[in-house]
Structures are given as structure tokens and as C-alpha cells.
Structure 1
Amino acid sequence: MGKIELDVHTHTIASGHSYSSMNEMVNEAKAKGLQLLGMVEHDVGIPGTCDPIYFKNYHVIPRVFNGLKIILGIEVNILDYDGKLSISDDLYQCVDYCMAGIHFHCYKPGSIEQNTNAVIETIKNPHISVIVHPDDGYCPLDYEKVVLAAKKYHTLLEVNNNALRSSSRLNSRENVIEMLQLCKKHQVKIILGSDAHIHFDIMNFDHIEGILEEIDFPKELIVNYDVDEFLKYIDKKV
């Protein structure tokens, strides 16, 4: 795949269903040669996750940790078809970046039009840098509309390794290929996410690599190869 510089969709024990400490995550990322590690914890609505005060105290954590640059964020839940989000407004200023996605603990799948509107309204939110794992066929999307919205509003669409290896999702591989083909057609940049819930899964893209090769997806459209390019998407309109 070439030299990956960043993985910014990872979770620590603070998310409640992950198993590694922040120190373990950083040491693993350093050992694998990353230049930037992002750690996000789930927002309220996911069972077992941390309270808002966890994010409000991010300021005590240095952004160079054991010699590695880190950023600390939040994975926000899309709640309804109008793109309402779980995050309270006061948390935006406490985190370095925000990802958002559909999680069935917090969202009832609707029609393809309703789901697509939910995602596009989230893409329009100036605080949201990444739409995570938009690939589950149980929540169908109009990928052409989503990709064009991502291009217009300068938002990254994620290809999520954890989602691709999950047996609980419908047609994830086929949906990812459709989305990537449209990103290739419209020259829309994407981000790869390991969605690591334990430290040794950091930078694990084993279910993504074959797809990228199969469709000959352009390396220049993947921001994981360039930290500076990724940082352009953080708080893109604020």
C-alpha cells in the first residue's frame, strides 16, 4: 500500500468496548511508523462509553505523546433523518476533530432518501470532518449524492476496515466498491480507518487493500499518505 502516515479512527478503553490504554495505542503506533495517531471515543448513546467530562478534560493531554503526534476526537452519532447529532455544542471546542456516523443504537434506518438526507445534512455540518463507515446495506444510501456532497462540503468519506470484516453488516464490500468508484469518478478524497478497538489493530487495513487494488483506486485520493492533507479537513469551515 505504500507508506501510511496516519490512522485517526482508533478507540481506547474509554469507549467502553475497546481494550487498550492510550499509552498502549501510542506505543503501537510508534512501532508501526505512524506520524499521526488519532484517538476518538464514542459520544453518548453507545452503551458503556465515557461521559462528556472525558472530552472536556482533553486539554490535559499533550499532543506529542511519547514522541508521537496525536489528536483527540469524538465519534458522534447521527440521530435522525434531518442530520441531528448526539454531540452537545459545548464539546466542539474541547476536541481536535469530529467524526460522525450511523449507529443502530441511536438511529432507526429509513428509506434510501431518508438515510441519504441524514448523511448529507451531517456532511454540511462545519464541525464534521469524516463520515465513518457509510457502507451498511441495512441502511441504504444514494452514493452518488453522498459523494457529491462530500466534494462540495470538503468532507472525507471513510473506508472502514472493521466494518468490512464484520458479519453483521449487509453488502459492505459491494457498497464500498460503489462508493470508491464514484469517488474516483468525481475526484473525491477518502480516508482509510482501521477502527482499531485494541492496539495491535492500529493501521490494519487488510480488508481494504484488496479492494483498492481491484479497482485501481488512485493513491493521491487517499489522505492517509499525507498528514498535512488530512489536517486540511479538520474544522473545515469554522
Structure 2
Amino acid sequence: MDFDNERIDISDDLSGSMTISGGSKRLRGMKGTDFDTLDEPIKETILRDVRAVYTKFKNVLHPQRKNNILKEWDLWGPLVLCTFMATILQSSSENGENDGGPEFAEVFVIVWLGAIVVTINSKLLGGQISFFQSVCVLGYCLTPLGLSLLVCKILLILFSQSTFIFLLRLLASGAGFAWATYASVIFMENSQPPKRKALAIYPMFLFYFIISWLVASHTH
């Protein structure tokens, strides 16, 4: 009888071990499905990242008083925007002579160095936002200026230069400047101390103003 009791106890223990093992396997399966991306196909990873970038672009085009764009920062969107704008804004050379416009590398330096300076200023003022979150927001908020640049480029292709066309380009770049500044303020104002918001907004104003002037003054 004692032996039978011991056998029953052992089988109970084994049964319990199997249940725990099965439970842990299910847990690992759930974890792998929800959070682990090591086994995720490359296509799914790329599509997920593209959807995240698209969502941030959409948030910039329709800014609201929420910080969803700050939850998961990335620099893919800013990199694409910066490359696009630098490609269009770069000076063209005719007969070995520069037309006076900025070079590709100069536009890159202006955008990234400007974003870094604005971010450092925000941090020194006590902003509750990480370095890369700030650069991410400033980069994505270039979207309206990128659209303005595209409009200006189309106007230059379709029509010859005139005072009226210049005013249209100036209007487009001004609208992009206002839109970009407004979007960045909406996303970052809650991260700044209440009494220092003006000091944090002023460098952003200058940053987007310089870029908008590059857009408006582009003539080739």
C-alpha cells in the first residue's frame, strides 16, 4: 500500500510537471507571437516599419494635441525627407559654373545640424523629451516644407520665372513654414516647462524659416 501511495504521488508530480511545461510552452508561443520579432519574415518587418513611418507622416499633416508621434521614434522619415529636399535644392552646374544654390551636403548639414541645435536648446531648457525623439519630430515636421518644395519645383518646370510665379512660390513656402512650425509646436509643447515655452519655440521658428527660405529662393 505504501508503494502504491508513493507511485500515485510520483505520477501526480509528473502530471503537474507536464502541466507546467505545457503552460510555459504556450506562454512562449504567445510571447513569440506578440512581442518577439526574431522569427518574423523580412517582408512583415519592412511593412510594419513602412506603416509606422506612414502614420507619423499622417500625424504631421493633421497635427493634434497628442504625443503619439513621440512614443516610438525613428529617423527613416526624416532621412527620406532630407534626401529628397537636398536632391531638389542642390545647385546645378552649367559650363563648370555653380548657379549659387546650396550643395547636397550643405542642405544635409543645415537640416541635421539645425535639428541637433534645436534639440540641445530644448534639453537645456529642461524639456522632458529624449534627444532622438526631438530630432524625430523636427525631421518629420519638414513634411509640409517638402510638399512646398515640390509645388515650387512644378511651377518652375511649367512656367517661366516671373514676379507672379515668385509670389506663388513665396506663398507656398510660407504656408509650408507655418504648417511645419505649428505641427512641431503641437507635438513638443507639452514636453517644455510652461515658463520656457517661448524660448524653446523660437529656435524651431528660426530652423524652419531658414529651410523655407531655401525653398522660396530655389530657382532651378
Greater CA radius of gyration, 1 or 2? Answer: 2
Structure showing the higher strand proportion among its residues: 1
Which of the two has greater helix per residue?
2
Q: TM-score, normalised by structure 2?
A: 0.27
